[in-house]
Structures are given as structure tokens and as C-alpha cells.
């Protein structure tokens, strides 16, 4: 067997055999914000998908400093995504393709990815991660404080089972079509206990028995039409009520809500800030795609720039900080005035 085809076990890439206390505290804080026991706003912000670890760590250090500035009103979580879901084809992320050339050196990818997550966690930031391949979850889950199941996998039973086992709050994104019912069903499923095959730390197959994830929640990411407006938020809350689920709601300012135009993210954030400052306490979190430089680049024969996304276009750092400030200000108004519910627009 070629060395390229030998995959290390999760234990071989981990730096320790336990979850640091700081990550446990981060998870508890995120859960408290989602449940509104903590009056701050969750903001998951960072690159669409990490392609250069040095550039992403530069971004992480900047974000860590900014997070301290807004700590009274925001719980800032670094978007540290290393797998990229694809509808048909394309670059599938740093872990499956660390050399960006389609060679699929997954063994190197899990080591590089794990090292990046450890270094990013050392900044003091909570980390967010989208779990695309359930088999890879044991390599990275112990570093993560907020997880996501994406729009293309939210209907998948293995992903719902995985979410029920993961030890952090997990957001379920609505489908690419914009429909909410599949994601709402995923939240319900993830809250239940499941028995499913998994991998132990040494890589051997094992039976996973989950108790259910009490902090699974809905993420609005838009579809053919955006769903960040107040009336769409109210519709989502009605759907959660009908399903007997608590009002835990995060809204993504990118993807379908921005029409995949990074320049529209500030417009979406402004709308959400207005809803928050008006007292809508059901809006627990906002997601923003942001990186060092504005826009995106194609991957060609030359080595890509480390500061510019190679997947979705992102807002540059200089355009991101004002959005964090506006969300902090909006939440300060909500926090000081007290919630007034979630009125329809």
C-alpha cells in the first residue's frame, strides 16, 4: 500500500487525549447564548473555507483581538471550515485536498487540518466547523465549539446521527431550495438518541451511542429567495413552534441570503441589526463570510494568494470590523431595553 493511502488514526493526529477546559467553557457559552441564558449575540465569522493555514491564522489573531473589544455584546466564533461541500465538483477543502491539485492526499490533510485547528484554538477563540464527512469528525470534533450541518447534507441520516453525538451546539441549515421543513426535522432528529457505526480514537470501528444533542438549532441561509427579513424570521419561529422546538435561530448573511454576492452581506447584516435593536430576542446568532482581503480568486497554475478566498467571495477584514461593531451596538440596545419578542414585519 502506498503511504498516500495510509490514513492515520484520530489519536495519531491529536495533540492530547482530552478536551481542554477552555473549549468546554466555549461550548457552554455558545449553548447559553442560543438558549438566551446569555444575552449576547453569537457571531460566526471567517473564511468560506481555509486554503492557507498561515493566512487563516493571521486572520484568527486579528479576530481574537476584535472579539475582546466587543466581548460585552458578542460571542465571536472563528469559522474554521476545512471541508468544502460541492453540488457536483470542485475543490473539496484543505483536508481532502491540501495541495489544491486534486491529488487527494487525505493523510497529510488530516494532519495539516488538525494542526491548524489546534493553533487557531490557541488564540482563545471558539471554533466553528462544518462536518461534511462524518468519518472525519473524530479527527477534529474535540477542538470545535459550534458545529454545522450544511444545506446539502441536512437531510442525511448519518449527519443527523452525528449531530446527536457531537458534544457542542450544532446548527442545521435550511436546504438549498430554501425549504425549512428538512432542517427542522433534522433539529428534532438530532435531539434524539441514536445508535450508529463510528470510529474509536485508535481508528477501529465501534458502535456509537448518542444521548441526543439538546442544543441543535436552525440556521437560515436563504435559497432562491433570501430568508433573513423579519417576516421570514417570524415564519421560521412559527415552524419551530409547530414542531415543539425552542426558539434558537441563527441567520447566515451569506449564501442565499446575499445572493452569493459578498458585497450584499453588509445589507443583510444591517437588516439583522435592525431586528436585533428592535428587541427580537429570538435572533441568537449571525454568520458572516469574511477573510483578510475582499473577494475571491481562481486556483490556477500559480500558487494562490494566502489572503484571498479560493471558494466563495468574502468580505475583507477592513469591511468586517464595522459589521461586528454594528451588531455589538444593536445587541447593546436589545440587552439594555429588554426583549420584546419577534413581531412580524
CATH number at residue 268: 3.20.20.70
Indicate whether 22 belongs to any domain: no
Find the domain containing 105 and state its range.
Answer: 33-309+316-337
Indicate whether 182 belongs to any domain: yes
Checking if the pLDDT of 2 tops 60, the result is no
The β-bridge relationship of strands 205-210 and 194-199 is antiparallel
Q: What is the pLDDT of residues 298-330, one digit of tens each?
A: 987 678 999 999 999 999 999 999 999 999 999
Indicate whether 257 belongs to any domain: yes
User: Which candidate, 164, 165, 163, 185, places its Cα nearest to that of 174?
Assistant: 185
- For 15, phi and psi rounded to 5 degrees? -90, -15
Total number of domains constituting the chain: 1
Indicate whether 239 belongs to any domain: yes
Task: Name the DSSP class of 344.
Answer: -
Q: Supply the mean pLDDT for the chain.
A: 94
Q: Output the nine-digit C-alpha cell for 191.
A: 435531539
Indicate whether 43 belongs to any domain: yes
Indicate whether 13 belongs to any domain: no
Predicted TM-score (pTM) above 0.85: yes
Indicate whether 17 belongs to any domain: no
Indicate whether 237 belongs to any domain: yes
Q: What is the pLDDT of residues 88-141, one digit of tens each?
A: 778 999 999 999 988 889 999 999 999 999 999 999 999 999 999 999 999 999
Does an H or E element contain 251, and which?
strand 249-252
User: Which candidate, 139, 142, 115, places its Cα nearest to that of 127?
Assistant: 142
Checking if the pLDDT of 17 tops 90, the result is no
Q: Output the nine-digit C-alpha cell for 309.
A: 478566498
**Mean pLDDT, residues 180-185 taken together:** 98
Amino acid at each position: 500500500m502506498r503511504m498516500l493511502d495510509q490514513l492515520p488514526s484520530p489519536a495519531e493526529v491529536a495533540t492530547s487525549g482530552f478536551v481542554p477546559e477552555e473549549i468546554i467553557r466555549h461550548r457552554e457559552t455558545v449553548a447559553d447564548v442560543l438558549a438566551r441564558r446569555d444575552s449576547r449575540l453569537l457571531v460566526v465569522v471567517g473564511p468560506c473555507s481555509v486554503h492557507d493555514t498561515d493566512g487563516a491564522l493571521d486572520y484568527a489573531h486579528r479576530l481574537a483581538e476584535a472579539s475582546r473589544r466587543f466581548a460585552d455584546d458578542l460571542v465571536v466564533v472563528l469559522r474554521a471550515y476545512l471541508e468544502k461541500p460541492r453540488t457536483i465538483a470542485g475543490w473539496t477543502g484543505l483536508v481532502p485536498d491540501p495541495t489544491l491539485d486534486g491529488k487527494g492526499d487525505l493523510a497529510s490533510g488530516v494532519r495539516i487540518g488538525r494542526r491548524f485547528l489546534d493553533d487557531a484554538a490557541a488564540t482563545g477563540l471558539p471554533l466553528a466547523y462544518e462536518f461534511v464527512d462524518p468519518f472525519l469528525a473524530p479527527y477534529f470534533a474535540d477542538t470545535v465549539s459550534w458545529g454545522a450541518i450544511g444545506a446539502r447534507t441536512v437531510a442525511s441520516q448519518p449527519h443527523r446521527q452525528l449531530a446527536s453525538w457531537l458534544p457542542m451546539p450544532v446548527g442545521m441549515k435550511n436546504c438549498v431550495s430554501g425549504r425549512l421543513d428538512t432542517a427542522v426535522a433534522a433539529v428534532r432528529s438530532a435531539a434524539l438518541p441514536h445508535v450508529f457505526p463510528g470510529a474509536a480514537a485508535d481508528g477501529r470501528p465501534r458502535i456509537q451511542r448518542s444521548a441526543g444533542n439538546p442544543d441543535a438549532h436552525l440556521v437560515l441561509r436563504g435559497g432562491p429567495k433570501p430568508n433573513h427579513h423579519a417576516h421570514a424570521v417570524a415564519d421560521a419561529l412559527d415552524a419551530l413552534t409547530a414542531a415543539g422546538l425552542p426558539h434558537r435561530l441563527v441567520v447566515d448573511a451569506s449564501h442565499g441570503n446575499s445572493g452569493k454576492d459578498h458585497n450584499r452581506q453588509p445589507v443583510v447584516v444591517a437588516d439583522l441589526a435592525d431586528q436585533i435593536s428592535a428587541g427580537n430576542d429570538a435572533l441568537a446568532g449571525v454568520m458572516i463570510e469574511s477573510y483578510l482581503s475582499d473577494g475571491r480568486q481562481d486556483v490556477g497554475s500559480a500558487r494562490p494568494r494566502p489572503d484571498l478566498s479560493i471558494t466563495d467571495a468574502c468580505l475583507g477584514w477592513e469591511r468586517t470590523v464595522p459589521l461586528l461593531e454594528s451588531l455589538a451596538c444593536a445587541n447593546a440596545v436589545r440587552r439594555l431595553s429588554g426583549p420584546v419578542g419577534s413581531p412580524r414585519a
